[in-house]
Amino acid sequence: KDNNQWAQQTAPCNWSLDRMEEARVLYQAEISTADFQQPHEAKKLINDYVSKQTQGKISELISALDNQTLMVLVNYIYFKGKWKTPFEPHFTRESDFYLDKKRTVKVPMMHHMFLTTPYFRDEDLSCSVVELKYTGNASALFILPDEGRMQQVEASLQPETLKKWKDSLRKIDDLYMPKFSISSDYSLENILPQLGIKEVFSKQADLSRITGAKDLSVVHKAVLDVAETGTEAAAATGCCPVGSALILQPLKIYFNRPFLVMISDTNTQTPLFMAKVTNPKEN
């Protein structure tokens, strides 16, 4: 995980050497320069940097820049985890994944017999929860809502719910999980205010002491791959001041319809990545 600041080579950016050093010390941020008067070349420079740092998982964080750009702030995180108990590839079979009541797609369905992994059935929220551990200090919670209960479960993803699930996990012996690779990208100007980060996007915000400009745009992109050996995940954010759970037996569970996944640090219980998988065949 790291931060990087890209400033215009000859910009009227109000970043003194002292302030740049403060950013390096306080935020562990590298300081780089780019010529935003050549937006295509600057975009390639930043995207190549992010691609290298995320092992090629995020190849195009910034889709467009213009020559009014004065600074780009980049934050990225890259995670590669190996399952503590990997899935055996020769057990993987093509299987149906139910997109809804009428549509299915064929997916490579991984199968783990005699896995003995933690599992919990939450009758209150109508979902099933499985925990898979990585080597090291990370684990993944896979959350499978009953049909028609996805929104209810999503709305209940609070710390107390996660704690209840963690405290209630018991063992299962048979697990079916699709391989998948998903990605998403968002413009965060409308999302962050819903999380309480409002003032920086308001008309009253003034970033001119930093960049000489007042406006701000924020983009975010994330990628998540899950396969037999483990998981690769990466996320990056760019900030630009501009001018059916079929439980066939009590100890068997099929992830064969839309589900949620959350990867966390087991030492701090901090969520690192969270995703909703509605179609494992689509990014």
The answer to whether residue 143 scores a pLDDT higher than 80 is yes
| Mean pLDDT computed over 57-62 | 82
pLDDT(215) > 60: no
Is the pLDDT confidence value at 219 over 70? no
The pLDDT score that the predictor gives to residue 256 is: 94
Q: What was the pLDDT predicted at 2?
A: 66
Phi and psi dihedrals of 90, rounded to 5?
-75, -10
Tell me which of 3.40.50.1100, 2.40.30.170, 3.30.497.10, 3.40.50.150 is the CATH number of domain 2-79+182-242.
Answer: 3.30.497.10
**Residue 144 predicted with pLDDT over 90:** yes
List the single range of 30-34, 84-88, 112-116 with lowest mean pLDDT.
112-116
Architecture of the domain whose range is 82-180+244-277: Roll (2.30)
**Domain limits, the chain:** 2-79+182-242, 82-180+244-277
pLDDT of 209 > 70? The answer is no
**pLDDT tens, position by position, 221-231:** 777 787 888 87
Over pLDDT 90: what percentage of the chain? 21
Mean pLDDT computed over 167-171: 82
